[in-house]
Amino acid sequence: MRITFLGTGSAMPTGERSQTGLLLTDGDRRLLVDCGSGVLHSLARTDVGYEGVSSLLLTHHHLDHVSDLMPLMKARWLAGEEHLEIVGPEGTKSLVDGLLDVHEYMQDRLDLTVREVGPHGFEVAGFAVEGYETRHSMYCLAYRFGDSESDAEARETESRGVFTFSGDSEAFEGLASFAEGSAILAHDCSFPDDVDVSGHPTPAELGETLAGHEIGRVYLTHLYPHTEGRHEEMLESIAERYDGDVRIADDGLSVTIS
Protein backbone atom coordinates (compact mmCIF):
# COMPACT_ATOMS: atom_id res chain seq x y z
CA MET A 1 0.00 0.00 0.00
CA ARG A 2 1.27 3.46 -0.91
CA ILE A 3 0.13 6.52 1.04
CA THR A 4 0.55 9.96 -0.49
CA PHE A 5 -0.10 13.03 1.64
CA LEU A 6 -1.96 15.40 -0.68
CA GLY A 7 -2.72 17.93 2.05
CA THR A 8 -1.27 18.22 5.55
CA GLY A 9 -2.61 21.63 6.51
CA SER A 10 -5.64 22.96 8.30
CA ALA A 11 -8.57 25.35 8.01
CA MET A 12 -6.07 28.28 8.07
CA PRO A 13 -4.11 28.14 4.77
CA THR A 14 -0.42 29.02 4.76
CA GLY A 15 0.33 28.72 1.05
CA GLU A 16 2.65 25.81 1.85
CA ARG A 17 0.14 23.13 2.83
CA SER A 18 -3.16 22.17 1.24
CA GLN A 19 -6.03 21.17 3.48
CA THR A 20 -6.56 17.53 4.39
CA GLY A 21 -6.33 14.82 1.77
CA LEU A 22 -4.65 11.43 1.30
CA LEU A 23 -4.29 9.13 -1.69
CA LEU A 24 -4.08 5.38 -1.05
CA THR A 25 -2.98 3.07 -3.84
CA ASP A 26 -2.31 -0.66 -3.95
CA GLY A 27 -2.01 -2.17 -7.39
CA ASP A 28 -5.19 -1.20 -9.23
CA ARG A 29 -6.89 -0.03 -6.02
CA ARG A 30 -7.09 3.74 -5.58
CA LEU A 31 -8.84 5.67 -2.84
CA LEU A 32 -8.99 9.37 -1.99
CA VAL A 33 -9.44 10.07 1.73
CA ASP A 34 -10.84 13.54 2.47
CA CYS A 35 -10.86 16.35 -0.06
CA GLY A 36 -10.09 19.74 1.47
CA SER A 37 -9.15 22.89 -0.41
CA GLY A 38 -6.09 22.38 -2.63
CA VAL A 39 -6.34 18.60 -2.62
CA LEU A 40 -7.64 18.48 -6.19
CA HIS A 41 -4.52 20.32 -7.40
CA SER A 42 -2.28 17.99 -5.38
CA LEU A 43 -4.10 14.97 -6.81
CA ALA A 44 -3.63 16.31 -10.35
CA ARG A 45 0.14 16.31 -9.76
CA THR A 46 0.17 12.56 -9.06
CA ASP A 47 0.39 9.78 -11.63
CA VAL A 48 -3.15 8.77 -10.69
CA GLY A 49 -4.78 12.18 -11.15
CA TYR A 50 -8.42 12.95 -10.48
CA GLU A 51 -9.33 10.87 -13.52
CA GLY A 52 -7.96 7.75 -11.82
CA VAL A 53 -9.82 7.96 -8.51
CA SER A 54 -13.47 6.94 -8.51
CA SER A 55 -13.92 6.52 -4.73
CA LEU A 56 -13.74 9.17 -2.00
CA LEU A 57 -13.86 8.37 1.72
CA LEU A 58 -14.64 11.22 4.14
CA THR A 59 -13.71 11.31 7.83
CA HIS A 60 -16.16 14.14 8.59
CA HIS A 61 -17.81 17.16 7.03
CA HIS A 62 -15.82 20.19 8.17
CA LEU A 63 -14.98 22.48 5.26
CA ASP A 64 -11.25 21.81 5.33
CA HIS A 65 -12.02 18.15 4.61
CA VAL A 66 -14.74 18.48 1.94
CA SER A 67 -14.33 21.83 0.14
CA ASP A 68 -12.86 20.28 -3.04
CA LEU A 69 -15.68 17.74 -3.29
CA MET A 70 -17.71 19.61 -5.90
CA PRO A 71 -14.58 20.64 -7.87
CA LEU A 72 -13.60 16.95 -7.92
CA MET A 73 -17.01 16.01 -9.30
CA LYS A 74 -16.86 18.69 -11.99
CA ALA A 75 -13.28 17.82 -12.98
CA ARG A 76 -14.16 14.15 -13.40
CA TRP A 77 -17.22 15.02 -15.45
CA LEU A 78 -15.25 17.35 -17.74
CA ALA A 79 -12.54 14.69 -18.12
CA GLY A 80 -15.14 12.24 -19.40
CA GLU A 81 -15.24 10.07 -16.28
CA GLU A 82 -18.69 8.71 -15.51
CA HIS A 83 -18.61 7.41 -11.93
CA LEU A 84 -17.87 8.61 -8.41
CA GLU A 85 -18.49 6.83 -5.13
CA ILE A 86 -18.62 8.99 -1.99
CA VAL A 87 -18.44 7.20 1.36
CA GLY A 88 -18.53 8.83 4.77
CA PRO A 89 -20.16 9.05 8.19
CA GLU A 90 -23.80 9.75 8.90
CA GLY A 91 -24.93 12.89 7.13
CA THR A 92 -22.82 12.37 4.01
CA LYS A 93 -25.87 11.90 1.79
CA SER A 94 -27.43 15.11 3.11
CA LEU A 95 -24.16 16.94 2.49
CA VAL A 96 -23.95 15.78 -1.12
CA ASP A 97 -27.65 16.43 -1.77
CA GLY A 98 -27.31 19.94 -0.36
CA LEU A 99 -24.28 20.73 -2.54
CA LEU A 100 -26.12 19.48 -5.62
CA ASP A 101 -29.13 21.63 -4.73
CA VAL A 102 -26.84 24.68 -4.80
CA HIS A 103 -24.98 23.60 -7.93
CA GLU A 104 -27.96 22.28 -9.87
CA TYR A 105 -26.10 22.03 -13.17
CA MET A 106 -23.98 19.23 -11.65
CA GLN A 107 -26.98 17.02 -10.98
CA ASP A 108 -26.92 13.82 -13.05
CA ARG A 109 -23.52 14.66 -14.56
CA LEU A 110 -22.01 11.58 -12.89
CA ASP A 111 -23.23 8.15 -11.93
CA LEU A 112 -23.00 9.06 -8.25
CA THR A 113 -23.12 6.53 -5.40
CA VAL A 114 -23.29 7.80 -1.82
CA ARG A 115 -22.85 5.42 1.10
CA GLU A 116 -22.81 6.08 4.82
CA VAL A 117 -20.62 4.08 7.20
CA GLY A 118 -19.92 4.00 10.92
CA PRO A 119 -17.57 2.60 13.55
CA HIS A 120 -17.42 -0.87 12.04
CA GLY A 121 -15.78 -2.81 9.23
CA PHE A 122 -16.59 -2.16 5.58
CA GLU A 123 -14.97 -2.16 2.15
CA VAL A 124 -14.35 0.71 -0.25
CA ALA A 125 -12.38 0.71 -3.51
CA GLY A 126 -11.20 -2.81 -2.69
CA PHE A 127 -9.69 -1.76 0.67
CA ALA A 128 -10.75 -3.45 3.88
CA VAL A 129 -11.48 -0.61 6.31
CA GLU A 130 -12.55 -0.29 9.93
CA GLY A 131 -14.04 2.90 11.32
CA TYR A 132 -13.68 4.27 14.84
CA GLU A 133 -15.41 7.32 16.34
CA THR A 134 -13.01 10.08 17.33
CA ARG A 135 -13.27 12.99 19.77
CA HIS A 136 -13.83 16.11 17.72
CA SER A 137 -16.23 19.06 17.55
CA MET A 138 -18.14 17.25 14.78
CA TYR A 139 -18.87 13.54 14.44
CA CYS A 140 -15.73 12.10 12.84
CA LEU A 141 -14.35 8.67 12.05
CA ALA A 142 -10.78 7.44 12.17
CA TYR A 143 -10.00 4.70 9.66
CA ARG A 144 -7.77 1.64 9.75
CA PHE A 145 -6.84 0.19 6.35
CA GLY A 146 -5.48 -3.23 5.51
CA ASP A 147 -6.65 -5.69 8.16
CA SER A 148 -8.35 -8.81 6.88
CA GLU A 149 -10.05 -8.99 10.27
CA SER A 150 -11.52 -6.15 12.31
CA ASP A 151 -11.56 -7.66 15.79
CA ALA A 152 -9.22 -6.70 18.62
CA GLU A 153 -7.45 -10.08 18.53
CA ALA A 154 -6.09 -9.23 15.07
CA ARG A 155 -4.24 -6.27 16.62
CA GLU A 156 -2.47 -8.19 19.40
CA THR A 157 0.56 -8.61 17.14
CA GLU A 158 2.08 -6.19 14.64
CA SER A 159 -0.04 -5.90 11.52
CA ARG A 160 2.29 -5.41 8.59
CA GLY A 161 0.77 -3.35 5.82
CA VAL A 162 -1.78 -1.63 8.05
CA PHE A 163 -2.31 2.13 7.85
CA THR A 164 -4.38 4.12 10.34
CA PHE A 165 -5.59 7.69 9.86
CA SER A 166 -6.88 9.51 12.93
CA GLY A 167 -9.02 12.03 11.10
CA ASP A 168 -9.50 15.04 13.36
CA SER A 169 -9.38 14.06 17.01
CA GLU A 170 -8.08 14.64 20.46
CA ALA A 171 -5.53 12.03 21.53
CA PHE A 172 -7.10 9.36 23.70
CA GLU A 173 -6.43 5.77 24.70
CA GLY A 174 -9.20 4.24 22.61
CA LEU A 175 -7.85 5.74 19.40
CA ALA A 176 -4.28 4.73 20.26
CA SER A 177 -5.45 1.15 20.84
CA PHE A 178 -7.34 1.29 17.54
CA ALA A 179 -4.03 2.11 15.82
CA GLU A 180 -2.07 -0.58 17.70
CA GLY A 181 0.26 -2.56 15.43
CA SER A 182 -0.10 -0.24 12.44
CA ALA A 183 2.91 0.13 10.19
CA ILE A 184 1.97 3.79 9.73
CA LEU A 185 -0.26 6.08 11.79
CA ALA A 186 -1.08 9.55 10.45
CA HIS A 187 -2.33 11.53 13.45
CA ASP A 188 -3.75 15.00 13.89
CA CYS A 189 -1.31 17.22 15.83
CA SER A 190 -2.64 20.67 15.05
CA PHE A 191 -0.93 22.93 17.59
CA PRO A 192 2.17 23.21 19.78
CA ASP A 193 1.92 22.66 23.53
CA ASP A 194 1.29 26.28 24.54
CA VAL A 195 -2.00 26.52 22.61
CA ASP A 196 -5.14 25.74 24.62
CA VAL A 197 -7.27 23.68 22.25
CA SER A 198 -10.01 21.04 22.27
CA GLY A 199 -10.88 18.61 19.51
CA HIS A 200 -7.21 18.36 18.48
CA PRO A 201 -4.14 17.14 20.40
CA THR A 202 -0.99 18.97 21.38
CA PRO A 203 2.34 17.10 21.13
CA ALA A 204 2.49 16.42 24.87
CA GLU A 205 -1.02 14.99 24.86
CA LEU A 206 -0.29 12.83 21.84
CA GLY A 207 2.99 11.56 23.28
CA GLU A 208 1.40 10.63 26.58
CA THR A 209 -1.40 8.77 24.81
CA LEU A 210 0.87 6.83 22.43
CA ALA A 211 3.27 5.75 25.20
CA GLY A 212 3.38 1.97 25.45
CA HIS A 213 1.75 1.36 22.07
CA GLU A 214 3.48 -0.48 19.22
CA ILE A 215 3.28 1.52 16.00
CA GLY A 216 5.83 1.38 13.20
CA ARG A 217 5.92 5.09 12.42
CA VAL A 218 3.79 8.13 13.25
CA TYR A 219 3.32 11.10 10.92
CA LEU A 220 1.96 14.37 12.31
CA THR A 221 -0.54 16.11 10.09
CA HIS A 222 -3.38 18.70 10.13
CA LEU A 223 -0.81 21.36 11.01
CA TYR A 224 -2.04 24.88 11.77
CA PRO A 225 0.16 27.93 11.05
CA HIS A 226 0.92 28.03 14.79
CA THR A 227 3.25 25.04 14.26
CA GLU A 228 5.49 26.72 11.68
CA GLY A 229 9.06 26.99 12.91
CA ARG A 230 8.25 24.76 15.87
CA HIS A 231 8.35 21.28 14.38
CA GLU A 232 11.50 20.18 16.20
CA GLU A 233 10.08 21.45 19.47
CA MET A 234 6.90 19.43 18.85
CA LEU A 235 8.85 16.27 18.03
CA GLU A 236 10.97 16.70 21.15
CA SER A 237 7.85 17.09 23.28
CA ILE A 238 6.45 13.83 21.94
CA ALA A 239 9.82 12.07 22.37
CA GLU A 240 9.83 12.93 26.08
CA ARG A 241 6.78 10.70 26.45
CA TYR A 242 6.80 8.26 23.51
CA ASP A 243 9.92 6.58 22.16
CA GLY A 244 8.60 5.63 18.73
CA ASP A 245 9.50 6.96 15.29
CA VAL A 246 7.60 10.24 14.83
CA ARG A 247 7.95 12.57 11.84
CA ILE A 248 6.28 15.63 10.35
CA ALA A 249 4.20 14.95 7.23
CA ASP A 250 4.54 17.31 4.26
CA ASP A 251 2.43 17.72 1.13
CA GLY A 252 3.65 15.34 -1.57
CA LEU A 253 5.26 12.87 0.82
CA SER A 254 4.70 9.25 -0.24
CA VAL A 255 5.41 6.20 1.91
CA THR A 256 4.98 2.54 1.03
CA ILE A 257 4.12 -0.25 3.45
CA SER A 258 3.88 -3.96 2.70
Sequence-distant (6+) residues with CB within 8 A of 130 are 120, 121, 122, 143, 144, 147, 150, 178
Distance CA 22, CA 4 (A): 6
147 is catalytic: no
Q: From the candidates 64, 147, 168, 188, which is the catalytic residue?
A: 64
Q: With the CA atoms of 142, 204, 194 and 138 taken in that order, what torsion angle do they form, in degrees rounded to the nearest 10?
A: 20
Distance CA 245, CA 239 (A): 9
Task: Find the DSSP H helices in the chain.
Answer: 39-44, 63-66, 69-78, 92-102, 173-178, 203-210, 231-239
- The CA–CA distances, whole Å, from 6 to 91, 138, 189, 232 equal 24, 22, 17, 22
Do 144 and 174 meet the contact criterion of CB atoms below 8 Å apart? Answer: no
Distance CA 55, CA 9 (A): 22
User: Which region, left, alpha or beta, applies to residue 200 given φ > 0 means left and ψ of -120 to 50 means alpha?
Assistant: beta
Distance CA 121, CA 148 (A): 10
Do 224 and 191 meet the contact criterion of CB atoms below 8 Å apart? Answer: yes
* Residues known to be catalytic: 64
